[in-house]
Amino acid sequence: MPRPLSATIHTAALASNLAIARKYDPKSKIWAVVKANAYGHGLARAFPGLRATDGFGLLDLEEAAKLRELGWAGPILLLEGFFRPTDIDVIDRYSLTTAVHCDEQLRMLEMARLSKPVNLQLKMNSGMNRLGYTPEKFRTAWERARAVQGVGQITLMTHFSDADGPRGIAHQLDAFERGAEGIAGARSLANSAAVLWHPDSHFDWVRPGIMLYGASPSGVTADIADTGLKPAMTLQSELIAVQTVEAGSSIGYGSTFTAGESMRIGVVACGYADGYPRVAPEGTPVIVDGVKTKLVGRVSMDMLTVDLTPCPNAGIGSRVELWGANLPIDDVASAAGTIGYELMCAVAQRVPVRAE
């Protein structure tokens, strides 16, 4: 028997989350962002749930090729563009759309031999200061891109740093408008947070990622409570041992938890080698036997320990949900000082995953 730990991908939740993203602006086309192996869900497993999208956004040429093998004939966007001249051959072969964010990429494109027109998303740095041309340099870059032989449509793109936070997007929208003024072409600006909370940013194409997987762009579950978004991944396991300990006994490495009274402790087959965050402190929520309880003691490589006081009927073999359909991943993430994005991307290779 394998360990009882596994992840389930909920295909219907992906499809429903995509439909919700579309409802926020039925006029905008959608790049469903599936970078990082579909945020840890598995590209091939996520694809059937997301195939009603208009296009897929990702980073990796191999993942782009895999989408073609899965039968996707529509647009695929390389969100960071390409890194070497030989990448352009792959872009050409698989008819990929590519971001272009710097002159080095434009130079490679000018030297390339393309068999058919390649569509670009020219990226503006409107304030994030990672990738892209400043508003001042944007028009020159656009003119240069337009002059490249074999360049098809050019979409104007930027990315927000604070669409989920108090600073918002106004400063970046202003910068974008300034840099893009008078330039024809479709616009692509919005990530999930902007899809949900900044309708003035939607334009022609939106690029939702995290919302498709049913987690909150802000990392706060309450922020998406009224959206209808559903978790697309459940990480579940079982109790593999139960200990009854006396008052004063401590649990696990470092003896970080000491029982104040006699209590039952459940041992769960899931540890940091599975992607569960080792930094998760005492009190991190876990569902055992359908009842919400909490982590106690340190997370170890292959196991973690939980308080069975609220679940008197739980025993070896009882079902444990680490996050998912009944326990928002962001609640676990925020207890551990991170966001749902990181946890879903970190599910380890050794965890068996199946789609339903």
Binding site for ligand PLP (CB under 6 A): 33, 35, 79, 159, 191-192, 207-210, 217
Encoded tokens for 277: 């965050």
Q: Give the E-state strand segments of the chain in sequence order.
A: 6-9, 29-33, 55-58, 76-78, 97-100, 118-124, 151-158, 187-190, 205-206, 233-245, 250-251, 257-258, 263-268, 285-288, 291-294, 304-307, 319-323, 353-355
CB nearer to ligand PLP: give 89 or 342.
342
Minimum Å gap between C-beta 154 and ligand PLP is: 16
Rounded CA gap, 215 and 252, in Å? Answer: 31
Q: Which residue pairs from 328-331 have beta carbons closer than 8 angstroms and sit at least 24 positions apart in sequence?
A: 328/215, 328/216, 328/221, 328/231, 329/215, 329/231, 329/233, 330/215, 330/216, 330/219, 330/220, 330/221, 331/221, 331/285
Cβ proximity of 81 and 155 under 8 Å = no
**What is the nearest approach in angstroms of ligand PLP to the Cβ of residue 158?**
9
Nearest residue (CB) to ligand PLP, 191 versus 293? 191
Q: Mention every residue, 6+ apart, whose C-beta is less than 8 A from residue 252.
A: 297, 298, 300, 305
Choose between 79 and 240: whose C-beta lies nearer to ligand PLP. 79
> Which positions are annotated as active-site residues?
35, 253
- Both tokens of 15, joined, read 């499809």
Query: How far apart are alpha carbons 150 and 301 in whole angstroms?
Result: 52
Apex 3 CA angle, 42 and 355, nearest 5: 30
Nearer to ligand PLP, 22 or 207 (CB): 207
- Cβ proximity to ligand PLP, 22 vs 35, nearer residue: 35
Choice between 124 and 265, CB closer to ligand PLP: 124
CB 200 to ligand PLP: min, Å: 17
Q: CA–CA separation, 33 vs 19, rounded Å?
A: 14
Q: Which residue is nearest to ligand PLP (CB)?
A: 209
Take residue 190 and report the two structure tokens written for it: 């919005």
Q: CB-wise, 96 or 210, nearer to ligand PLP?
A: 210
For 276-295, b where at least 16 C-beta lie within 10 A, e where not — what string? bbeebbeebbbbbbeeebbb
